[in-house]
A and B are shown apart, each in its own frame.
Chain A
Amino acid sequence: MGEFAAQFLKEVELLAHRIIELNNISMKYGKQTVLNHIDLYINQNEFLTLLGPSGCGKTTTLRIIGGFEKPSTGDVLFDGTSILHTPPHKRPLNTVFQKYALFPHLDVAGNIAFGLKIKKASKDAIQKKVADMLRLVNLEGYEKRSPLSLSGGQQQRVAIARALANEPQVLLLDEPLGALDLQLRKEMQVELKNMQRELGITFVFVTHDQEEALTMSDTIAVMNEGNILQIGRPEDIYNEPKNAFVAKFIGESNILDGIMREDLLVEFGGAAFKCVDKGFAPNEGVDIVIRPEDVEIVPPDKGKIRGRVTQVVFKGVHYEMHVDAQGFLWKIHSTVAAPAGEDVGLTIEPYLIHVMKRDVAEATS
């Protein structure tokens, strides 16, 4: 049944307009490789997030798109033409910087008008645009304030307004919410997403926060050590992580060593399980990833694995339990708690067992 859908999606992808393309981009500082031959394309109106731990190359990728770094190899295309040698001030995109980088010698209006003044826009046009932008980011009446007198969240909004005032086709955002507190961050996530939809602009967003990425993105590119490990919709990345690193980085997981006995049969945690994976060599060593919410707690005699509950923590929506089974500590989320110290059995549905090749370093793009 999925064949038609897959074909359809492929067609749509071909139709979608690629606004930015990175071809074979590498970045080396001396002997250190920051980016390792990555390929990436970004569709028009897409909200794409580069997600990864610090030092994975996500910010470097963004800076290459912005023109602040020159890659060691590869080409950057904008709308089909190379912008590799175009300096940042001539690129049709704008950036929201990590710590906002607002001009302290200008007031809020002056900051927002900065790009328009360089373009020699008329006074009336500038005034109108500044007012529009302030309305967009909910900062009406702040024209004459110094950016230094604003809170982090307000500075953030000014930085966004300043970048959007230039009507860029692509907006680059470098961990823009990193300095905000949790409550504000969640608000801004929703606001940014709404803004992106309303304005119909392509957003390229960099973050190390997996929840942020899942909340906002149309597409997530998971990066580690200069490679793009997986690109896909948030749902796909969460449900079908390609390897143990992605699984570990996105959400919580139980990651175990397993042995693929035969097609559709895998052994781990001291028991054999039916699964939906095939195509591995007989008795091949694999990584098994199981989400904490996918493990079911049953009476000891009905489970494939037996263990003892060592810890129960109430998390609001669910309980987080640790179950010790032959030395492996299972992390389990469930709305029903088993008391600590009790013996329990664990079962897992075949389609919730994710079997992955051992080779974590394998890069896919």
Chain B
Amino acid sequence: MKKLFAYPYIVWMAIFIAAPLLLVFYYSVTATDALGNTYFTLANFRRFFSPFSPDMVQPFHERIFVVVALRSLRLALQSTLICFVLGYPVAYIMTRKEYSEKSVLLFMLLAPMWMNFLLRTYAWLTILERNGLINNLLGRLGLPMFDILYTDAAVLLGMVYNFLPFMILPIYTSLKKQDPKLVEAAQDLGAGQLGVFLRVVFPLSIPGVVSGITMVFMPAAATFIIPHLLGGRQYFLLGSLVEMQFLNIGDWHFGSAVAVIMMMMMVVSMVVLSFFDKGGENHGRGTVI
């Protein structure tokens, strides 16, 4: 009887997750010839790693797609690192009594998420623009212009801004779940503030850190809106490449191949991450709200 309740979800999964995934795989290893016949090929993957791209208006002499992939990877790693460095202290402070009881910080963290993602990112456009908020202010103070829109820095800023809560929340959850008696036990055994943190609090929060990293790294590696808006139309990340192949060029086969390669990158990074998550199994594991 209980099993019955699972069926809607299983059907949902089958239609909206499993089927599209299988389709993507199917498209990535096939191509269509001039006569409309579909055949099996690995050419889509070869093309990704080859130096020349006939899709572009100008001929490129570098492995342009690999460059895009590496840039995506770099930005995703950078934004994850920044989110971690900024987010961990915030999560830690939030668990302290005086904040957690009033939950002001949590509210401030979640409030922007009630706004549309696109809108939030557009807002940065007006802030960072040449005639935007920041430059207006700088101009009035007689300071030089601040021109970061359409650079790596702007894209990074957009990523950190949008994904920071996804780092903070799982870490916060795992810290909050820790038994305060463990801190007392560590103090009792001679650990000072730093010792308690390094030997007990941090190791026990690693599962939360790992889910935080996952939650930031994956969307950061796949996003196409943020580079599109804050990086400019010429700024390409893997996500933008997939979007372009599907929506502008209409090459679903190559687009699927890029998507599959992106998924492989994610899987590899997940496997690497899971090595760090061995110790604290089921302890303070961060759950995402």
Contact = CB atoms under 8 A, between A and B. Distances in A.
Contacts of B186: 103, 114
B139 interface: no
Given A97-B181, A118-B195, A105 B203 contact: yes
Contacts of B203: 105
B143 to A, nearest CB: 48
Contacts of B179: 101
A162 B181 contact: no
A162 B189 contact: yes
Interface of B: prevailing SS: helix
A212 B223 CA distance: 64
Given A104-B283, A105-B279, A118-B195, A88 B204 contact: no
A89 interface: yes
A114 B280 contact: no
Contacts of B283: 104-105
Interface string A85-116: 00111100011011101111100000000110
A95 B283 CA distance: 23
A105 B280 contact: yes
B141 to A, nearest CB: 47
Contacts of B279: 105
B190 A104 contact: no
Given A66-B188, A89-B190, A114-B186, A101 B280 contact: no
A46 to B, nearest CB: 21
Q: Range of interface residues on chain A?
A: 20 to 34
B38 interface: no
Nearest to A87: B187
B63 interface: no
Contacts of A67: 187
B185 interface: yes
Contacts of A118: 189-191, 195, 199
B184 A88 contact: yes
Interface string B269-289: 000000000011001000000
B280 A68 contact: no
A101 B190 contact: no
Contacts of A98: 181
B200 A88 contact: no
Interface of B: 179, 181-182, 184-192, 195, 199-200, 203-204, 279-280, 283
5 contacts: A87-B187, A89-B189, A89-B190, A105-B204, A118-B199
Given A101-B184, A118-B195, 10 more contacts: A66-B188, A94-B188, A99-B181, A101-B185, A103-B185, A105-B204, A105-B280, A105-B283, A114-B199, A163-B188
